[in-house]
Amino acid sequence: MDSRVFENFDAVCEKLTEMLPHGSGINCKWQFEQLKNGKVIAYNSYHCMNDAGYYDGYADFKIVFSVHKALTAFSLHFVGAYAQRKNRQYMLRDYLEDTIYNALPDDKSIFGLGIGV
């Protein structure tokens, strides 16, 4: 574990919140968790819309960042059976991965954010 991340975890959360996408279905507030193994998890939900243009529930997801890898090397996981079903129904994985990937700098890790972690 690299404890430097956890000394300024609020600053890490603030910076990630600024960088991660908002809108276009990602309409909830980003929430973060720090793990002892050196990973940071970001949680949010995608607001699904059906073919008729009506909202059709939320698909909860999390993004797992490794503090020493580039931010774009994240992994995306859908949280719960309902979110998995919405992912399959609306083919969300590619859209969310692309949207999140394009919002993040590809040459920085959490340690490279310049926040003094």
- pLDDT on residue 1: 46
- pLDDT on residue 50: 94
Side by side, the strands of the sheet bearing 39-49 are 31-34, 39-49, 55-66, 75-78
Domain spans of the chain, in order of start:
4-113
Predicted confidence (pLDDT) at residue 52 exceeds the cutoff of 90: yes
Q: How many residues does the chain have?
A: 117
